Structure 1
């Protein structure tokens, strides 16, 4: 507790902000729990919405840890190996938020336990949601085991067990791919939803994940380097930024391939893409500005990361990170879900936009996730760089 409580004014202000977000969202969720999902703007026409969009985005953030694991352990690149633990911590926090968004999206949250293997009735293997729950829980446990083993070994002044950690780290690579692949399968297996029924949805999910998650980490590494004794080489940051450029290129390439397919073939299924970027029946779509903003930010961010001169300029790189994060968040949170439902299979047009309850509850879940991530980072830094151990604690007590 002493290491968590220790910090500067900025640290305390950050914690207070997160607690305020959690508290206000908690009251909003109590109201939703009492009245039901009617307080949201979800209806029969749009039954997956902002909550599930956030869930989808955060699954990608969790999968992004693999962008540190592969160069560190597959190619044995030393500078990144020192920071892999932060990718694992981000994965733990992101999956915690994923489960939170699934919980608040359920009309009967008391049935959440059915998503838990063994104790719940999961309808496995028929249900893709059951597969998604299993791979998420396994990936969560793998990352939690790895970071716990490493940090506990540091605390005990021992070297971590290679026979446990290394196989789990390698195993986390296919697991990271699987969590976002199965999530994509939830969408593109729906033949009645042409906007999602695309074979390239899974690779698009992975490509966008491998640039949005590292965007958070790059900014985090710079903050930690300036405010703590955290050490990271510039070459490690630049290498992650370079990998993000490749991922962003693949994401944009697949997106524009989908746009070409829709507009060149000009079938009736073009209506969904039209709703996203323009609107229907001569009326502007309420999400059109967000669709264009996502594309614009994605293209600008890619150009920033494409050229080494701008990629290695920390100001430009940070702007690019914010743009990538925003672009992918809009893409998953709004531009993926809502056009898939509009119009419905019956031709109805229900113009969904998140209600104030949805925004407040979502902010609270992000607050919980960032609070968890902040506290884990605080403990990790104390063990990794401030030489906190069982010996130092014993010496203080004497």
Structure 2
């Protein structure tokens, strides 16, 4: 379960709290009930975030040496910071992603998405298959983030490869050879981040001016690039895939009877890109009547909590606007709630508004495939073509287009 939780959310056999061993024999306390998951997330004293970025597969010495050679470090910064420095760091990052600044990006993003949708519609009309991940969703969050936060001057493809490599290195079941390869890729880009953190403008400069040490500046940039923009591109892909099968919802959007914002919330509830998150018990306590010794690793099953019948009327149905739809925990809760939630919602709403019509009359050629991962779904493609068109002899999957 620990690496396929996103595929088992509707399994009724799971209790509120369960002890489960992972692939290397480490025992975790898996929490499934919405109220209990929220309790853990909002109690940062009893349940600390210190293990949030720990590698779920212990790294061999070779991989650790590779990372050390690149001076790789992940000090307590945002998601893994239970210390006194967290509020100050979060304040600086939150200001860079302030709702007013996010809203100002909406016209630009709408024009960009509208242009891409027009090109994709023409390709579909010509009988070509299109990959809505690669050609629409993959780089959008990164491009928007770059307009809000100064980022290193690196190709989009290189940033995406680094982000996906980091999500795999720290949250996937891996063998030693794969860990070494990923450590080399993550380490190389971490060096780029470190150089930029020392001299870059924007967020990096504001963190330096606030007295934050270099490792913290790097850590903030690392987390924005890895868990920030990458998860949003994943969500856009998963949401479009879900909408492809939700004909009534698309009809409601066309008729103006359903709001894009409500579609986004229901998508976050049913198709969150982050399916679990971790905490560690700081003291001996109990959770749902289960004893929890200090030091226990706790896996919070966010995706299943979103389908808790105690919080939502129709847990497994895609019904935008239904009672409880917005009570999901896709962005977490408490002091470590996702600082980019407004940005992710805005991006998703634009994509729903502009791209949902693309899904009318299409058939799915290739569904998104998600590799084993404790926390992130990481879909790799979503290919569609117009229904009734002949299958091409060799489907042409193109790479993401970057606007000029």
Same fold? TM cut 0.5: no
The structure whose residues are more often strand, as a share, is 2
Q: Give the TM-score taking structure 1 as reference length.
A: 0.28
